[in-house]
Amino acid sequence: MTTQTPIPQTLAQKLIAQASCRSHVAVGDIISCKVDLAMFHDSSGPRRLKPMLEELGAEIWDKSRVVLVMDHYVPEQDEDSRRIIRIAREWAQDQKLPHVYDSQGICHVVLPQKGHLRPGMFCVGGDSHSPTGGAFGTYMFGIGSTEMLGVVVTGEIWVRVPQTRRMWWDGQLPVGLTAKDMMLHMIGQFGMNGGDYQAVEFCGPAVQALSMQERMTMSNMSAEMGAQVGLIAPDEVTQDWLVKNGVSKDDIHLGHWHTDDEAYALVHRFNAADLAPQVAAPHSPANTHAVNEFQNVAVQVAYIGACTGAKLDDLRAAAQIFKGKRVAQGVRLMVAPASLADQSQAENEGVMSVLRDAGAEVLPTTCGACSGYGGSIPDGANVIATTARNFKGRMGSATAQVYLASPYTVAASALRGFISDPREALA
């Protein structure tokens, strides 16, 4: 009697196979998968789902698997935002949803901090940056309201098994560089449609050396590469972070969730040691070049915020630049921590004091200016931001010129009043 040799699978294939109750799947297969968790926020959720569910006379398939986060239109500043938030709060109460996080931070950060993600899960989110979950070995991607309606009614969704591109990073990141620099470099190389519905998997020594929050930034911005998911194989770093955030160690399984050596995947190699700080010029994350190509570009606004640039690690990075110093005259520095938990820890460590002493205006822990809410970006200004996107008008003003960079580079630029290499400020 012969035993059948297991078919080599990528991490993406393994996650889809589990969600579809199969032993293996092949690239190109169209498969119905059971959803472990559906997340949506005040903008993408109740105001759109409520009327559709009522019209169908349908109910949520499993309320314990639904997470609602209020992060886009809070704090309410006008009648429209008050209406949207009122719908969300009333619907959540009416449905008796058990997992509602109101004004506690950005959904992509709050979700894992509240212990909702684990390796091996299959999840969807009502936001394009939902691939953040891939940092935890979770197959998570963004969907629209109509697709979300199908998920919350049936608990299932179909996917086409994607080809995997492995982004292998050797070496060690120099001081003053972050996962944001790595992502901007890759987006600059492959463009915003480089993923072509593919799974991108980040791996190699430089990726393994990243903190959990840095990995979240990396997976998050796989969306800017056009990929459906951005995966990182879970390891001890993943496990330790999840346990600290309330997940039982018994619920975390590491061994199976990796790409098999023989599994076919396209591989692209990079060396982190050779990377310079990266800056994306208006109006695309793909318009990326090394920081030295932007010398003497004056900035009037520096924004440290969003799910890709205001987590605890990001706030710490900015504080390293600002310690004992103040922003340049004429520069407005805005800091919007990614979550209340991160802001609280930053307060305890003295990080927020450093930022305030440097002249920072601390904003609420919401999506804020990243999604164009709040009107805080002045017309015609040169803005350098830690956000994920710099599309024309995305931050509110259609005439603002928005540059993207890491928190180190944003802080260094605010310090000098023009786009600057953070390595010089750290020397």
Task: Please determine, looking at this structure, whether the domain spanning 11-270 carries the CATH number 3.30.499.10.
Answer: yes
Show the 3-state SS of the chain.
CCCCCCCCCCHHHHHHHHHCCCCCCCCCCEEEEECCEEEEECCCCHHHHHHHHHHHCCCCCCHHHEEEEECCCCCCCCHHHHHHHHHHHHHHHHHCCCCEEECCECHHHHHHHCCCCCCCCEEEECCCCHHHHHHHCCEEEECCHHHHHHHHHHCEEEEECCCEEEEEEECCCCCCCCHHHHHHHHHHHHCCCCCCCCEEEEECHHHHCCCHHHHHHHHHHHHHHCCCEEECCCCHHHHHHHHHCCCCHHHCCCCCCCCCCCCCCEEEEEEHHHCCCEEECCCCCCCEEEHHHHCCCECCEEEECCCCCCCHHHHHHHHHHHCCCCCCCCCEEEECCCEHHHHHHHHHHCHHHHHHHCCCEECCCCCHHHHCCCCCCCCCCEEEECCCCCCCCCCCCCCCEEEECCHHHHHHHHHHCECCCHHHHHC
| pLDDT score recorded for residue 359 | 97
pLDDT in tens, 277-321: 999 999 999 999 999 999 889 999 999 999 999 999 999 999 999
Query: 111-160, pLDDT tens digit by residue?
Result: 999 999 999 999 999 999 999 999 999 999 999 999 999 999 999 999 99
**Are domains 11-270 and 277-426 of this chain identical in fold?**
yes
pLDDT at 375: 60
The predicted pLDDT at position 2 comes to 46
pLDDT surpasses 50 at 1? no
Domain residue ranges in the chain: 11-270, 277-426
In contact, 314 and 211? CB cutoff 8 Å: no
* pTM of the predicted protein model: 0.96
CATH architecture for residues 277-426: 2-Layer Sandwich (3.30)
| pLDDT value for 195 | 61
Question: pLDDT tens digits for 206-260?
Answer: 999 999 999 999 999 999 999 999 999 999 999 999 999 999 999 999 989 999 9
Averaged pLDDT of the chain: 94
**Tens of pLDDT, residues 343-394:** 999 999 999 999 999 999 999 898 888 777 766 788 889 999 999 998 777 8
Contact indicator for 67, 116 with CB cutoff of 8 Å: yes
Contact between residue 285 and residue 406 where contact means Cβ atoms under 8 Å apart: no
Q: Is pLDDT at 271 greater than 80 in this prediction?
A: yes
